[in-house]
């Protein structure tokens, strides 16, 4: 009996782990996860800081209205400096030079040269962004140099006239880099009475475009 009892004990010791292993629940299978798509990089909006100042230079076309309803187009160049007072307000100085020839029937052409220096406020109504429209009013002085060559025994002549002048207008600048911009267009109405206040229709129209360099940050 003792040997029979010992045999049952040994069978119980070996069978119990096998039964326990068979009764354990199989591990739950995890659902396959969908592959993650790569996220797009966040686009950072480029900002255009307000410069402390700027210098600009470029091309100028100016109309000139002379005596007897004669008119010519004069071409040349301009240069300007601007100091920023506020993000929307600046003060600028502008100077330009243009030249042309006034042709009168049966007379030699008269060479004309106009120097103009003006200054005044410049307003950016939308602040400073990639595209900056602006308006300005400038006041100053203009000088007209005229020269007529000798003709048919008559000696040549030269003259100079200095008058007060002003211009009002505006334009658009397009920023292309932190320090560089393009003055896409500038349109102005200008008044300079070189022939005296009694002669009408001496106002002129000015068209300019050029490049702009920004100086520092405000």
Task: Summarize the confidence of residues 140-165 as an average pLDDT.
Answer: 85
Whether the CB-CB separation of 67 and 102 falls below 8 Å is answered with no
Whether the CB-CB separation of 129 and 48 falls below 8 Å is answered with yes
Task: Summarize the confidence of residues 123-134 as an average pLDDT.
Answer: 93
39-54 pLDDT, tens per residue?
Answer: 666 665 556 788 999 9
Please give the residue that has the higher pLDDT: either 218 or 112: 112
Task: Summarize the confidence of residues 143-160 as an average pLDDT.
Answer: 80
The CATH code of domain 53-215 reads 2.40.160.20
Res. 34: pLDDT tops 50: yes
Residue 108, CA distances (Å) to 68, 111, 160 in order: 16, 9, 19
Q: Which range scores top for mean pLDDT: 6-20, 35-49, 159-173?
A: 159-173
Residue 208, CA distances (Å) to 8, 40, 198 in order: 113, 43, 29
Nearest to 182 by CA among 172, 170, 169, 194: 172
Mean pLDDT in the chain?
82
66-115 pLDDT, tens per residue?
Answer: 766 678 899 999 999 999 999 999 999 999 999 999 887 777 788 899 99
Check residue 188 and give its pLDDT.
97
**What are the residue ranges spanned by the domains of the chain?**
53-215
Check residue 18 and give its pLDDT.
46
Please give the residue that has the higher pLDDT: either 71 or 209: 209
Which ranges of 61-122 does DSSP label H, i.e. alpha helix? none
How much of the chain, in percent, has pLDDT values that exceed 90?
52
Check residue 15 and give its pLDDT.
46
């Amino acid at each position: 009996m003792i040997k029979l009892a010992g045999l049952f004990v040994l069978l119980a010791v070996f069978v119990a782990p096998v039964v326990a292993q068979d009764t354990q629940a199989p591990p739950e299978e995890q659902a396959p996860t969908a592959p993650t798509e790569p996220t797009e990089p966040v686009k950072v909006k480029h900002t255009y800081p307000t410069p402390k100042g700027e210098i600009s230079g470029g091309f100028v076309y100016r109309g000139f209205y002379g005596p007897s309803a004669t008119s010519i187009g004069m071409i040349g160049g301009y240069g300007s400096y601007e100091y920023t007072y506020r993000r929307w307000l600046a003060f600028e100085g502008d100077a330009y030079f243009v030249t042309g020839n006034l042709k009168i029937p049966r007379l030699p052409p008269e060479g004309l040269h106009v120097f103009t220096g003006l200054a005044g406020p410049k307003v950016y109504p939308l602040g400073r962004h990639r595209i900056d429209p602006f308006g300005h009013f400038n006041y100053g002085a203009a000088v007209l140099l005229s020269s007529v060559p000798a003709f048919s025994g008559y000696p040549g002549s030269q003259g100079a006239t200095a008058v007060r002048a002003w211009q009002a207008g505006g334009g658009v600048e397009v920023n292309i880099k932190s320090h560089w911009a393009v003055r896409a267009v500038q349109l102005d109405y200008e008044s300079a009475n070189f022939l005296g206040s009694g002669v009408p229709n001496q106002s002129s129209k000015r068209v300019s475009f050029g490049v702009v360099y920004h100086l520092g940050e405000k």
